[in-house]
Amino acid sequence: MDVLRNELNGKLDAIRAEMLTLLRADADFVTQMQHRVTLIAAFLTLLAAILGLVFALMVSAAAITVAHLPKPHSRQDRLN
């Protein structure tokens, strides 16, 4: 009876060790993927900030250009 129990315990220990090895490998893989996702998110955030800044500069430049345009003359001014 003890021999069977010891044999079963040995098999269970081997299975536990293999499961732990697989768990560690998967944990390392997930950590690498999280790092990659974090880098991609940081890059996309930087890209969005740059695009936002460019758009803001374009809108500001257009607003300044409109502000400097000569005012249209009214019909009354043309008659005088």
Tens-level pLDDT at each residue, the chain (80 residues): 889 999 999 999 999 999 999 999 999 999 999 999 999 999 999 999 999 999 999 998 888 877 666 666 666 655 55
Residue 23: per-residue pLDDT:
98
Q: What's the token pair of residue 49?
A: 């900030």
Q: Is the pTM higher than 0.85?
A: no
Range of the domain at 40: 2-66
* 78 found inside a domain: no
Q: What residue has token string 């390392």?
A: 28
Collapsing DSSP states into helix, strand and coil, what is residue 74?
coil
Residue 76: per-residue pLDDT:
62
* 29 found inside a domain: yes
- Convert the pLDDT of each residue in 18-28 to its tens digit: 999 999 999 99
Phi, psi of 72 (to 5 degrees): -70, 145
Q: Measuring CA to CA, how many Å separate 37 from each of 13, 24, 63?
A: 36, 20, 38
Domain count of the fold of the chain: 1
